[in-house]
Amino acid sequence: MLAAVAASLALVVPASAATLAGAWAPLNRCPVDDPAMLAADGATVAALCLSSHAQSGTFTIGSTTLTTGSTDLQLGVLNQGGTYTTVAPSGGAVLGDAVDIPGGLLGLMCPSNIPVVSAICLTLANNPLNRVTATIQSAGAPTGFNLAAGTGAGTPIINLPVKIKLDNPLLGGNCYIGSNSNPIVLKPANLTRPTAKVVRFSPDGTPSATGQQGYLSLSGADQGDSTFAVPRSNGCGLLGILSGAVDLKQGLPSPAGENNLVLTNPVTNLGGFQTPRSFAPTEGQQLSTRWHAAVVG
């Protein structure tokens, strides 16, 4: 009966949109219903959930620095004897708030020696059409998760392919820096060693020193990466006519060493069942059932 209830919840409350009770809350986009997660037996392969949330940070491309809003990374993690494989949620591993580009279109592509762009630049001063927002999006599945790096400092924790969506009526709906085929690949590392604690809780999310659920929680250290390159923009304006102006003004492509990411004090949680082997041979299915039972509303 419990499995049937969980299955019906899965139809109406997808993992990408859930609100979870109590200590479950940070794991609200874990892809618990992915076939690879459900197939975990708990003995040879354990299914885990990973979340990493930062309220702010900075993203620098060449000479342009953006102050980021909230960013949220979530993944399923399969642990096979200390070898980790990641599973991305259907909505993408990385979600970020939209942030304003300094100077809007004027700052993004003006002045320009391209006639059509110059004409646009002349109309933008004090014009609401000048505003441009940038949003970081996933551009493929993350790889190379390193648990030891997450508890230490200076070693990349994961490889994150992303792209940046630029939104403005004149840029159209498909203007990006980077793409799925040519992404920005971020490799964030802790800049100092984080503080670690173990959080244990009951199936309903209530904290409990003997709870069957739990996660390792890491905080107190900024994360950063200055090794990534940034490719050209694409799809900006009708038939991509404005992409060249964006590239020229922003110095794209921007080589490795000219760019920088800092995430301010992200809180990272990794866990599921405290002892996955105790739930063999259906650990992944039981993790999904309990996750869905914790959905609020």
Would you say residue 222 lies in a domain? Answer: no
* Tokens 């949620």 sit on residue: 89
Give the pLDDT score at 119.
84
Q: Which residue has the higher pLDDT, 290 or 63?
A: 290
Would you say residue 290 lies in a domain? Answer: no
Residue 62 identity = G
Output the pTM of the full model: 0.88
Q: Which residue has the higher pLDDT, 64 or 280?
A: 280
Task: Report d(CA 9, CA 18) in Å as an integer.
Answer: 10
pLDDT single digits (tens) 85-135: 999 999 899 999 999 988 888 888 887 777 888 888 888 777 888 889 999
Would you say residue 291 lies in a domain? Answer: no
Give the pLDDT score at 122.
82
Give the pLDDT score at 285.
98
Report the DSSP beta bridge partners of residue 186: 160
pLDDT single digits (tens) 184-212: 999 999 999 999 999 999 999 999 999 99
The chain-wide mean pLDDT, for the chain, equals 90
Would you say residue 51 lies in a domain? Answer: yes
The candidate with the shortest Cα–Cα distance to 148, out of 190, 117, 185, is 190
Give the pLDDT score at 124.
77
Give the pLDDT score at 117.
80
Average pLDDT over residues 280-288: 98
* Tokens 């930062």 sit on residue: 54
The candidate with the shortest Cα–Cα distance to 189, out of 139, 234, 223, is 223
Lowest mean pLDDT among 17-21, 67-71, 136-140, 248-252: 17-21
Would you say residue 218 lies in a domain? Answer: no
Would you say residue 293 lies in a domain? Answer: no
Q: Give percent of the chain above pLDDT 90.
A: 77
> Does the structure show a pLDDT above 70 at 11?
no
Domain coverage including residue 233: 13-213+227-285
Alpha carbon 133 to chain centroid, angstroms = 18
Name, in order, each residue with C-beta under 8 angstroms of 147's C-beta and a sequence gap of 6 or more: 84, 270
Would you say residue 294 lies in a domain? Answer: no
pLDDT single digits (tens) 152-184: 999 999 999 999 999 999 999 999 999 999 999
CB 212 within 8 A of CB 170: no
Would you say residue 219 lies in a domain? Answer: no
Give the pLDDT score at 17.
55
The candidate with the shortest Cα–Cα distance to 108, out of 67, 64, 69, is 64
Average pLDDT over residues 275-291: 98
> Does the structure show a pLDDT above 80 at 4?
no
Give the pLDDT score at 132.
92
Give the pLDDT score at 227.
97
Q: How would you classify the pairing of strands 213-219 and 233-234?
A: unpaired
* Tokens 């002045």 sit on residue: 111
Give the pLDDT score at 48.
98
Give the pLDDT score at 206.
96
Give the pLDDT score at 16.
52
Q: Kindly indicate the confidence band of residue 3, based on its pLDDT and cuts at 50, 70 and 90.
A: very low
| Domain count for the chain | 1
Task: Report d(CA 174, CA 185) in Å as an integer.
Answer: 20
> Does the structure show a pLDDT above 50 at 38?
yes
Q: Give percent of the chain above pLDDT 70.
A: 94
